[in-house]
Amino acid sequence: MLKHEDNERLVRVGRGQPAGELFRRYWIPACLSEELQERDGAPLRVRLLGEDLVAYRDTEGAVGLVDAYCPHRRASMFFGRNEECGLRCVYHGWKFDRHGNCTDMPSEPAGTPLQGRVKMLAYPTHEAGGVVWTYMGPKEKMPAPPDYEWMRAPATHGYISKTYEECNYLQALEGGLDTAHSSFAHNIMIGKKQAFRNADTAPRLDVETTDYGYRYISTRNAGDNQKYIRVYHFVMPFQQMRGAAVKWSKDGGADDPHGIPKIDGHIWAPIDDEHTWVYNWSCAVDASVRYTADDFERWEGFAGRGKDDTIPGTYRQIRNKSNDYMVDRAVQKTQTYTGIKGVNTQDFALQESMGPIVDRSQEFLGGSDKAIITMRRMMLEAMRQVEAGAPPPGAEPSTHRLVRPYDAVIPADADWREAFRDLLLAKW
């Protein structure tokens, strides 16, 4: 269990809160690039770490991320005119560039000194990997932009999507770091003992801390004198990386229904204390493997994020809390453990069922929770470091740019470190 005061430190992400100040020391996703396709196009509402913001792509193609409200009379900048490298408030015509400078004040006399004094809150942005990233912390402590391997893969070899989750980021992140639950929540082959997760439901975990977070090794008995090794990574403060290079079962059942070797993972970006954007990324293991639009849609559909699974015009799932995720009790009795369609929808159902913020003082943890316990301790220590004026771990790209996950079935007596020696280093 976790003390109530530690739980509060971990889950509150607003400005001035320990977790909020920690997140503000990293580059975090603000939106997808596809949400801002047009130069001088419509602004986009963004809520991040409890702050209401507006994003827009200006005339030069750069992305601005500014306060949602005009500093004049606090009218919404979502209704602003995106024109000539700036966003103009339609209430009185005050215009601001992406750096927050007031470039025009037509409702005031020409040459007014007020124009030079007025500033709009604006955050720096960096666009890479199909994501618009932002840094919301002290400018003098800003790290270099992120450089994860998946961000360097070309669009023909990877993809990224996002989904909306109605709970605190931490219980969502904990679900991503919990490999044991896949034997249950994601069991879509009830009764088929040859599937790795069904045959061995209690993986052995080893956690090794690193300068970016940690890597943890899950070992399952795969039968026939073999073992299934999966090397995950937790990259501070919100990312999971995992391998997806092998099929789960000998009879063809697989997490990846089209069998493309890849690496993938998630980023859990806090909207506020009770809501989260989940960014879902994937890239091929090397240049010999390319994705097609059909590949993308099949994988997204398997996860429950496909075109037919999403409310049109949004990143929200049709199967959600309001309709009990369309659980099918007949399917639950005979085919799948949950009766819920979509791997990530299964996750959302369980994580959101805990409430917006789970009370961790009521938990009873076991050996399969080793990775979660380590993550919590690491996050609490990072908060103490930031409070003491020290830089947080994993913020600089030099710590994470070569990190790669991997999984494979190997002989039971083989050393996974030797077998994976060259497979845990980035190829892109």
Which CATH number belongs to the domain containing residue 310 in this structure? 3.90.380.10
The H or E element spanning position 233 is: strand 226-235
Same domain, 171 and 311: yes
Token digits for 397? 């790209």
Quote the pTM value.
Answer: 0.94
For residue 138, cis peptide bond before it (omega within 30 degrees of 0):
no
| CA quadruple 358, 362, 367, 368: dihedral sign | negative
Dist. CA 423–CA 272, nearest whole Å: 37
For residue 265, the Cα-to-chain-centroid distance in whole angstroms is 8
In a domain, 15, yes or no: no
Sign of CA dihedral 357, 363, 369, 372: positive
Where the chain has pLDDT below 70, the residues are 191-198, 245-260
End of a domain among 141, 168, 195? 141
Which token pair is 324?
A: 């009990």
| Residues 223 and 74 grouped into a single domain | no
Q: What is the pLDDT at residue 205? A: 92
pLDDT score at 253: 42
Residues 6+ away with beta carbon under 8 Å from 404: 149, 241, 263, 423, 424, 425, 426, 427
**115 contacts: CB under 8 Å, gap ≥ 6:** 102, 104, 105, 108
Q: Which of 281, 236, 249 is nearest to 262 (CA)?
A: 281
Query: How many residues comprise the chain?
Result: 428
In a shared domain, residues 296 and 320? yes
Q: In 3D, which of 111, 108, 43, 42 has the Cα closest to residue 72?
A: 108
| Per-residue pLDDT, 249 | 39
Does some domain include residue 22?
Answer: no
Domain end, chosen from 80, 115, 141, is at 141
- Residues β-bridged to residue 262: 244, 284
CATH number of domain containing 112: 2.102.10.10
Residue 221 in any domain: the answer is yes
**Run of H or E residues at 206:** strand 204-209
Residues 397 and 378 both lie in one domain: yes
pLDDT of residue 331: 94
- Please tell me whether residues 39 and 183 are part of one structural domain: no
Query: 348 and 211 share a domain?
Result: yes
The whole-number pLDDT of residue 258 equals 44
| Shared-domain flag, residues 262 and 396 | yes
**232, part of any domain:** yes
User: How many domains are there within the chain?
Assistant: 2
Region of 420 please: left (phi>0), alpha (psi -120 to 50) or beta. alpha
Closest CA to 216 of 246, 238, 196, 242: 242
pLDDT in tens, 38-83: 999 999 999 999 999 999 999 999 999 999 999 999 999 999 999 9
Residue 52: partners with Cβ closer than 8 Å, 6 or more residues away: 45, 46, 67, 68, 69
Structural domain of 337 = 149-419
- pLDDT computed for residue 252 by the predictor: 38
Residues 70 and 129 in one domain: yes
| Structural domain ending residue among the three candidates 84, 113, 141 | 141
Is 399 among the domain residues? Answer: yes
State whether 253 and 137 are in the same domain.
Answer: no
